Amino acid sequence: MRLLLKTCLLTLLPTAAAMAGDGGRWMPRAPMIDVRQEPVGEQLDGKIYIFGGLIAPNRSTDKGEVYDIATDQWSPTAPMPKPRDHSASGVLNGKIYVIGGYNATFAARDTVYVYDPATDTWDDGPALPERIGAARAVTYNNRIYVFGGSDPDHEPVDSLLILDESGNWSYGAPLPTAREHVAVALVDDAVYAIGGRIEFHGAGIGCNERYDIATDTWTIVAPMMSPRSATAIATWGNRIMVAGGEIAGSLEINEIYNTETDIWTRHENMALPRHSIPAITLEDGIFCAGGGLKPGVGATNYVDVFVPGPSFEGTGSCPGLMSFESHGGTPGGYLVAFFGADRGTQSLFNGSVELGLDASAQIGAISRSDAQGRWGFSGDVPPALCGQLSFQVLDFATRSVSNVLDLE
């Protein structure tokens, strides 16, 4: 049973999620030209555009650069009209909007700068109705939705600001939990607002709230396993990756939320722990550019791509009836389920794949996933197996593995 209260900071939720483990892999890409954290990033016509960000303490940048996905190469763009960091961004009519953010003194701004990739030029856009920094945005149906952030006094706000293609701003239903450094992701016609901070330089939270665009309403859903702020966030089908972030230091944690099952699973940690990272979904993985290597400012130009494997989830209680499901596999492809008593590493396919179970692991089942890439089974689990087994699924077509699921 789930208890829904006004704010997810007080929500009681079941712990039906899977445990920590491996799953997916991180692959480096060409580094950016400049170091930066808290920039904005958008994808247009086979290219990724990165603008602004912090480059050193009290130093914002106006520089931009563009990444060619096909060639793995970066080039500079025209600079923004003024330096900005902690901005939000979206795309309307083939142009990139850089919305609000801070200047070098962490003063929230109401500016909107509009970049035209066709001409490599900037124009002023319609100013925000309030000054906001550290917000995040998504684009949906020719509108940009801007969530949360902090005001000029560095107090978190609950605002939902909506910009239409005619340049008019309006308000949507406010976030149930006011916060800054929130991460947002669009899946179908819903936006998930995840994590963030409820005070300036405060600790991160795990809060996860779903906004239904059609009805302009909010619902509290399962929180992150690891509370944090300033994360990378991107979608992979119906799943949401939330990687890195900041608490007392920069984090390597990588968790995936399944919007269909309301379950979180933990996947392969980031190769380089960092926070304040734009993330963008590509055909072959999730692209993460730059970020901060330490609390506060420690900008890097490091770039990598996370290639997700399946998510393997368990519900129910041990001992007793439990259900197990794999999500995100190749539709109609073969899945191999392994089980073992010990975690570890085991190389498969001449070392190209690493299983998160040791060499004693055995194959428990081989089956095809359905047309949505799902596969599952259920059964009664005896007491003797509780705490004694771990499971992991291999997608044979992509040679990718799921998270490790501990039977507890």
Full DSSP string of 271-304: SS--BS--EEE-SSSEEEE--BSSSS--BB--EE
Residue 3, number of CB atoms within 10 A of its CB: 9
Task: Give the integer Cα–Cα distance in Å for 113 and 80.
Answer: 7
Average pLDDT across the chain, whole number: 92
Q: What is the pLDDT of residue 249?
A: 83
On the question of pLDDT at 342 being above 90, the answer is no
Report residue 148 as tokens. 């949360």
State the average pLDDT over residues 203-222.
97
For residues 240 and 189, what is the distance between their CA atoms, to the nearest angstrom?
Answer: 14
Whether pLDDT at 7 is above 90:
no
pLDDT band at 5 (very low <50, low <70, confident <90, very high): very low
pLDDT for residue 9: 58
The C-alpha atoms of residue 279 and residue 302 are separated, in whole angstroms, by: 13
Report the SS3 class of residue 86: coil
What are 53's strand-pairing partners?
none
Look at residue 39 in the predicted model and tell me its pLDDT.
98
pLDDT-based confidence at residue 12 (cuts at 50, 70, 90)? very low
The pLDDT of 75-103, averaged and rounded, is 97
SS3 334: strand
pLDDT higher than threshold 90 for residue 358: no
Strands of 73-120, DSSP E: 73-77, 88-92, 95-99, 112-116
Look at residue 408 in the predicted model and tell me its pLDDT: 80
Residue 8: band (very low, low, confident or very high) from pLDDT cuts 50, 70, 90: low
Average pLDDT over residues 38-66: 97
Q: 99-113, 180-194, 229-243, 382-396: which range is least confident on average? A: 382-396
C-alpha to C-alpha distance for 162 and 139, rounded to whole angstroms: 10
Selected residue with higher pLDDT from 175 and 343? 175
Distances (CA, A) of 307 to 128, 173, 261: 36, 35, 21
Q: Which of 10-14, 168-172, 370-374, 390-394 is predicted with the least confidence, judged by mean pLDDT? A: 10-14
95 phi/psi in degrees, rounded to 5: -120, 150
pLDDT at 21: 43
Q: In this structure, are residues 180 and 106 in contact, taking their beta carbons and an 8 Å threshold?
A: no
pTM reported for the whole predicted model: 0.92
Average pLDDT over residues 75-82: 98
Pick the range with the lowest mean pLDDT from 108-112, 137-141, 166-170, 293-297: 293-297
Strands 40-44, 47-51: parallel, antiparallel or unpaired by DSSP? antiparallel
pLDDT above 70 covers a percentage of the chain that reads: 95
Contact between residue 104 and residue 58 where contact means Cβ atoms under 8 Å apart: yes
Query: Please, what are the domains in the chain?
Result: 8-307 (2.120.10.80), 311-406 (2.60.40)
